[in-house]
Amino acid sequence: MGKRGDSDLGGARSFSSPSGETLAALAERLDHSGMATVIERTPIHIEIALQQELPTIPPGPFDQVIIAGMGGSALPAELVIDAFSERLKVPLRVVRHYVLPSSVNERTLVIVSSFSGNTEETLSVVEPFPEKATNLVVITAGGRLAKLSRERGYSLIEIPYKREPEGFQPRSAVGYFATYFARVLSAAGLLDDPIADLQSVIGFFREAQIRPAAEEFASWLGQRIPVIYTDEVHRMSIARTAKIKFNENSKRPAFFNGLPEANHNEMIGFSNRGIGDFGILYLHDPASHPRIRERFNVMKKVFLREGLQNVAFREWEIPGETKIQRIFAAINFADWCSYTVALLDGVDPTPVALVESFKQVLAEEPVS
């Protein structure tokens, strides 16, 4: 089981909120879209995506891969890059924009990802492609993107979102997206077969006890602003994803960075005691260079010596025998932690009303 550095965990679900309600009572009152069920189904999402028949995947040859998407439809790409970094046969990068880089040509495999199928940045990437493009794969749950793909004959993977609770969010589809990305790369000859790795994650989740530790950390966090640190190699896959979970599930500002880089710049920002209280969570990968953990411990020591009481520290050691298991474990920890923070703050973890309002207003603005 994963562990925090200071003390043993367990029984966290029995603690009460400031209002005196148990987490179970808060979930009954606030979790209107069944986010807890969605989080619990992550290994099932992987299993479904492994069993799903894929369309014909362009065979290449390819010199590079671009995964184009936004928000929750893009973040699982960082997981795949991290998990399979030593096995990818060509460079892979994520594009979160309206246009593709100028280096993209027919020898570039472009995987376009949009859960809703209506993401304007992603549609902007797809629209210039010709019919029956031989270097394009589309992953979506529907919308305009699915319609366009069928009309033009693109390789289309449809996410079976109707199996999920109503209100299912893109950020909760990590298992689906990561599995599709890895299978597409394998089918294109750019990644050795990842199926055994992904299947191991399913088995790992049956044994892992992550939720109690995550709930305990959420209780400790209180009203502090979350700051997520990891080894630099996991900065985008784990730390950034965890930050997004706190933004969308907990409706809180949050920050992320990697060690050792944060020790060279970011940490000085906390010396301004008047800007708020922060809770720094270091997600420790046991496979990291030992100096990474030492840097976190020295940072705690120096902050204590300098009297920086606006910053509190916690560590959680990520469980798992393989890198992909540890990455999924850390993301699952962030899911449960941010979910619990939402309940303790009295908010429903699923809706993202401000984002939807923004999209509506943006759609009404004239294109300049």
Q: How confident is the model at residue 10 (pLDDT cuts 50, 70, 90)?
A: very low
CA distance 107 to 61: 6
Q: pLDDT, tens digit, for every residue of 343-360?
A: 999 999 998 889 989 988
Is there a contact between 234 and 330 (Cβ–Cβ < 8 Å)? yes
Structure tokens at 124: 């902007």
Q: Is the pLDDT of residue 2 over 50?
A: no
359 belongs to the catalytic site:
yes
pLDDT at res. 359: 87
Q: pLDDT, tens digit, for every residue of 49-102?
A: 999 999 999 988 999 999 999 999 999 999 999 999 999 999 999 999 999 999
CB atoms within 10 A of CB 261: 12
Q: Which of 86, 264, 321, 364 is catalytic?
A: 264
Q: Is the pLDDT of residue 9 over 80?
A: no
What is the per-residue DSSP string for 326-359? HHHHHHHHHHHHHHHHHHHHT--SS--HHHHHHH
Q: Is the pLDDT of residue 18 over 80?
A: no
CATH number given to 39-203: 3.40.50.10490
Percent of the chain with pLDDT over 70: 94
pLDDT at res. 368: 63
Average pLDDT (168-192) is 96
Q: How confident is the model at residue 118 (pLDDT cuts 50, 70, 90)?
A: very high
Q: Is the pLDDT of residue 304 over 50?
A: yes
Q: Which of 78, 215, 216, 248 is catalytic?
A: 248
Q: Which of 32, 89, 289, 359 is catalytic?
A: 359
Q: Which of 75, 130, 135 is nearest to 105 (CA)?
A: 135
Q: Is the peptide bond before 61 cis (omega within 30 degrees of 0)?
A: yes
Phi and psi at residue 138, to the nearest 5°: -115, 135
284 belongs to the catalytic site:
no
Residue 283: CA atoms inside 13 Å, Cβ hemisphere, count? 37
CA distance 144 to 26: 37
DSSP for residue 101: -
Average pLDDT (314-332) is 98
CA distance 17 to 8: 21
264 belongs to the catalytic site:
yes
Q: pLDDT, tens digit, for every residue of 130-154?
A: 999 999 999 999 999 999 999 999 9
DSSP for residue 141: S
Burial class for 128, CB neighbours closer than 10 Å (0-12, 13-18, 19+): exposed
Residues contacting residue 116 through CB under 8 Å, at least 6 positions apart: 140, 141, 142, 143, 170
Q: 182-208: b or e for each residue (b if 16 or more CB lie within 10 Å)?
A: bbbbbbbebbeebeebbebbbebbeeb
So what CATH class is 3-30+209-345?
Answer: alpha beta
Domain boundaries, the chain: 3-30+209-345, 39-203
What is the per-residue DSSP string for 224-242? PEEEEEEEGGGIIIIIHHH
Q: What is the side-by-side order of every strand in the sheet holding 255-259?
A: 3-4, 311-317, 278-284, 225-231, 255-259
pLDDT at res. 12: 43
CB atoms within 10 A of CB 221: 24
Q: For residue 45, give the H/E element and its range.
A: helix 42-51
Q: How confident is the model at residue 105 (pLDDT cuts 50, 70, 90)?
A: very high
Is there a contact between 245 and 338 (Cβ–Cβ < 8 Å)? yes
